[in-house]
Amino acid sequence: MALNYDLLPSLLVIITMSFLVRGQAISDYKLIGHEIQAEQEADRVVGLPGQPSSVKFKHFAGYVTVNETHGRAFFYWFFEAVDKPQDKPLVLWLNGGPGCSSIGFGAAEELGPFFPQNGGKPKLKFNPYTWNNAANLLFLESPVGVGFSYTNTSSDITNLGDTITAQDSYIFLINWFRRFPQYKSHDFYIAGESYAGHYVPQLSEVIFDKNKRAQKRNYINLKGFMIGNALLDDETDQKGMIDYAWDHAVISDTLYEGIKSKCNFSDPNPPNDCDILMNQYFDVYKIIDMYSLYTPTCIINGNSTVTRQQQRPVFQRFGTPKNLFHKYQQQGWHKRSAGYDPCASEYTAVYLNRPDVQAALHANVTKIPYPWTHCSENISFWKDAPASVLPIIRKLVTGGLRVWVYSGDTDGRIPVTATRYTLKKLGLEITQDWTPWYNNEEVGGWTVEYKGLVFVTIRGAGHEVPQFAPRQALLLIEHFLANKNLPAKPF
């Protein structure tokens, strides 16, 4: 018999009354049950401007406190599965940056159910390839300072880094599951792209380690994670980025040979000669889209948003200015790919800054003194990040988590070339080599199966795979969750 989640608090009360005879205990538990129900209902999204009337699934949005002392709170948007949410796993999606919004990119332009459209009135287009066809889907804006997430302690913004992001995200999950306890027993997975190549394994490691000694109320049923076009290893990511650009006729032989000669890919502080050459390299991507080589850029009022989005303040790391060759180079990590509609980000920004939309989403309750943006203009310092997350991935593979890595093969920022170099460096045994998989009658990409890890390429997709290849992306998440091989034959 299917469980009606709306009745869960009442059912918990009935079950508790069967086992507890002390009236005070019964009363306290009953009160907690009603509190949970009230908290969920307070976060339920109704009357979202422009939402298609045919939508039947529930969705919720709001804030979860991660540090009461500092007043840090993360904003989330949660979509129940389209069908039978009680039987589906839970997937947390994270975008990267660092400092970019999973609501703006992931939910509103990639894999969520609603995509904002152009026009004077708010309009949302239903995405038939939404990932809540396959799972209950949770989006999170992290760390504080990103999107609607906030802190009441200004010094928090200058103390951000990989470590605090993972720790706060873990606290978010603990508290979110207390608000939505009906999902606590579901299989839980984390997925993400780009700089989430750090976020996802690091959060998975925190959960993995905490679970070993966690009380039952804090145990998270983590089963695995999936990351795409992901920053994993500085050396191989940078080497692959340059090799891919030359191989795809983006840069000249002269520039390519110069970079290879002057830049040490394993050196986090390259010489000035390398910086000069890397400036020339990035100049090319002012006129084409680095994140999707073969799609158009957005032109509004005669100006390309590619150039505009590169005009951002420079990150600092450990108090010293970073250089172009480092992953903190903001014009690289905060740049937005084009996609089917290269101006989708413009529509999303307009939509999420509408007061009626924010009210429906229970967002911006503290009236932050700046507009919502895809990538934070306030985060200009990143305190810590390892040069490689491969030791974490190796640890979690050995620990039995399901791990898939995927790559859209037209991305120039963290290209398939880089990911192949990185996985070779990881050193896992190959159990099934380069094999095509199919999206209907067309090749969808290729797979390589390692001992404990699966690598998937997505043919024709850019940096944000669900945006460029939505049907292939849905097949990907469905097969990942089912732990099944992608279709090996046309269908």
Active site residues: 194, 411, 463
- Taking Cα atoms as reference points, which of 69, 9, 131 lies closest to residue 467? 131
Within 8 A by CB and 6+ apart from 99, the residues are: 143, 145, 146, 334, 375, 376, 379
- Residue 315 C-beta-side C-alpha neighbours within 13 Å: 30
CA dist 330 to 257, 282, 284, 407, Å? 25, 12, 16, 22
Q: Give the pair of three-digit tokens for residue 332.
A: 């690289």
**Cβ–Cβ < 8 Å for 208, 401:** yes
Q: Give the pair of three-digit tokens for residue 47.
A: 């009357």
Query: Cis peptide leading into 49, omega within 30 of 0?
Result: no
**Cβ–Cβ < 8 Å for 211, 222:** yes
223 CB-contact burial (10 Å; exposed 0-12 / middle 13-18 / buried 19+):
middle
Tokens 């706060």 identify what position? Answer: 168
Pairing between β-strand 453-458 and β-strand 402-408 as defined by DSSP bridges: parallel
Q: Give the pair of three-digit tokens for residue 224.
A: 């695995």
| Polymer length in residues for the chain | 491
β strands within 160-236, DSSP E: 188-193, 222-228
Phi, psi (deg, nearest 5) at residue 404: -120, 140
Tokens 């975008």 identify what position? Answer: 95
**Cβ–Cβ < 8 Å for 292, 338:** yes
DSSP lists the bridge partners of residue 49 as none
User: In whole angstroms, what is the distance from residue 387 CA to residue 425 CA?
Assistant: 13
Tokens 């203009």 identify what position? Answer: 377
User: What is the per-residue DSSP string for 394-450?
Assistant: HHHHHTT-EEEEEEETT-SSS-HHHHHHHHHHHTPPEEEEEEEEEETTEEEEEEEEE
Within 8 A by CB and 6+ apart from 186, the residues are: 88, 89, 90, 136, 221
User: In whole angstroms, what is the distance from residue 388 CA to residue 5 CA?
Assistant: 42
57: Cα separation from own chain's centroid: 22
Instruction: Supply angle C-alpha 35, 141, 135, rounded to 5.
Output: 70
